[in-house]
Amino acid sequence: MAPLEVSGLDVSSRVRARDIQMAGVADIRRHVLMISGAIDTVDHDVSVCINLPEPGRWQIIKSETNLTDRTWVAMQATTDEDSVFVDDAEHLVMSRQFSKSFITPDQRRLTFHGGEVRPGEAVVKMYSLETTSRRPVYAYSRYSPVVTDSPDMTAKTVEQLVAEGLPQRPVIEVIVPVTVIG
Amino acid sequence: MREFVVRAERGAVGFLPVRALISTGATATWPRQARVALKLVAPEDPACAEAADEPDGGPPAGSVQPYDLYRMPYRDWVTATLREVARAWLDQVGPCCVDVVDADLLDEGSKLFFVTLAGLAEEQITVRCPVGDATGPPGPAPAVTSFRERRIERLVAEEGELRGEEADFLYGQAVGYLLAGDGWTAERLLRAVVRQRPTPAVWVKLRAACALLGRPVDAGQPAGPGPSGIPGQRSAPEAGARDGEPRAWQPPAGGPEHATGGPARPADPTGRRPLRLRSGWERLQEWSETAGQIPKNAVHRALFAIAERTVFHAYETYDDPADPLVFFVRVKGSLVLKIRFRDLDTFEIVHVGTLGEAPGIGRGIDRAA
The answer, yes or no, to whether residue B114 has pLDDT greater than 90, is no
Instruction: Out of B297, B301, B332, name the one closest to residue A84 (CB).
Output: B297
Write out the H or E segment, with its range, that includes residue A79: strand A72-79
The answer, yes or no, to whether residue A116 has pLDDT greater than 90, is yes
Lowest-pLDDT range of A85-94, A95-104, B111-120: B111-120
- Please give the DSSP secondary-structure letter assigned to residue A48: E
**Residues of chain B neighbouring A84 (CB-CB closer than 8 A):** 292-294, 297
Instruction: Out of B294, B296, B301, name the one closest to residue A132 (CB).
Output: B294
Tell me the pLDDT band of B6, cut-offs 50, 70 and 90.
confident
In whole numbers, what is the pLDDT of chain A averaged over residues?
87
The answer, yes or no, to whether residue A19 has pLDDT greater than 70, is no
Which pLDDT does position A94 carry in this prediction?
93
Q: Tell me the average pLDDT across B183-209.
A: 83
Q: Where are the domains of chain B?
A: 1-268, 276-368
Q: Which of B237, B248, B231, B260 is nearest to B113 (CA)?
A: B260
Which pLDDT does position B232 carry in this prediction?
35
**Residues of chain A neighbouring B301 (CB-CB closer than 8 A):** 81
- Which of B288, B293, B303, B335 to substitute to test the interface with A, most A CBs within 10 Å? B293
Lowest-pLDDT range of A138-152, B156-170, B268-282, B313-327: B268-282
Lowest-pLDDT range of A18-32, B32-46, B188-202, B255-269: B255-269
Kindly identify which residue of chain B lies nearest to residue A84, measuring between CA atoms. Answer: B294
Which pLDDT does position A166 carry in this prediction?
92
- Across the interface, whether the CB atoms of A107 and B292 are under 8 A apart is answered no
- Rounded Cα distance between B41 and B174, Å, is 14
Tell me the pLDDT band of B313, cut-offs 50, 70 and 90.
confident
- Across the interface, whether the CB atoms of A132 and B300 are under 8 A apart is answered no
The answer, yes or no, to whether residue B278 has pLDDT greater than 50, is yes
CATH code reported for the domain at B276-368: 3.30.2310.20
- Please give the DSSP secondary-structure letter assigned to residue A15: B
Q: Which of B66-75, B191-200, B330-339 has the highest mean pLDDT?
A: B330-339
Q: Where are the domains of chain A?
A: 16-181
Per-residue pLDDT tens digits for B237-246: 333 333 433 3
- Rounded Cα distance between B274 and B270, Å, is 10
Which pLDDT does position B234 carry in this prediction?
36
Strand B323-332 versus strand B316-320 pairing type: antiparallel
In angstroms, the separation between the Cα of residue A163 and the nearest Cα of chain B is 19
Residue B300, chain A, CB below 8 Å: the answer is: yes
**Chain A interface residues (partner B, CB cutoff 8 A):** 81-84, 106-108, 130-132
- Across the interface, whether the CB atoms of A84 and B294 are under 8 A apart is answered yes
- Rounded Cα distance between B49 and B18, Å, is 18
Task: Give percent of chain B above pLDDT 70.
Answer: 72
Higher pLDDT, B139 or B306: B306
**Residues of chain B neighbouring A110 (CB-CB closer than 8 A):** none
In angstroms, the separation between the Cα of residue A69 and the nearest Cα of chain B is 37
How many residue pairs bridge chain A and chain B with CB atoms within 8 Å of each other? 23
Lowest-pLDDT range of A50-59, A122-131, B46-55: B46-55
The answer, yes or no, to whether residue A181 has pLDDT greater than 60, is yes
- Please give the DSSP secondary-structure letter assigned to residue A57: E
HEC sequence for chain B: CEEEEEECCCCCCCCHHHHHHHCCCCHHHCCHHHHHHHHHHCCCCCCCCCHHHCCCCCCCCCCCCHHHHHCCCHHHHHHHHHHHHHHHHHHHHCCEEEEEECHHHCCHHHHHHHHHHHCCCCCCEEEECCCCCCCCCCCCCCCCCCHHHHHHHHHHHCCCCCCHHHHHHHHHHHHHHHHHCCHHHHHHHHHHHHHHCCCHHHHHHHHHHHHHHCCCHHHCCCCCCCCCCCCCCCCCCCCCCCCCCCCECCCCCCCHHHHCCCCCCCCCCCCCCCCEEEECHHHHHHHHCCCCHHHHHHHHHHHHHHHCCCHHHHCEEEEECCEEEEEEEEEECCEEEEEEECCCCEEEEEEEEECCCCCCHHHHHHHHC
Which pLDDT does position B326 carry in this prediction?
86
Q: Tell me the average pLDDT across B354-361.
A: 78
HEC sequence for B287-302: HHCCCCHHHHHHHHHH
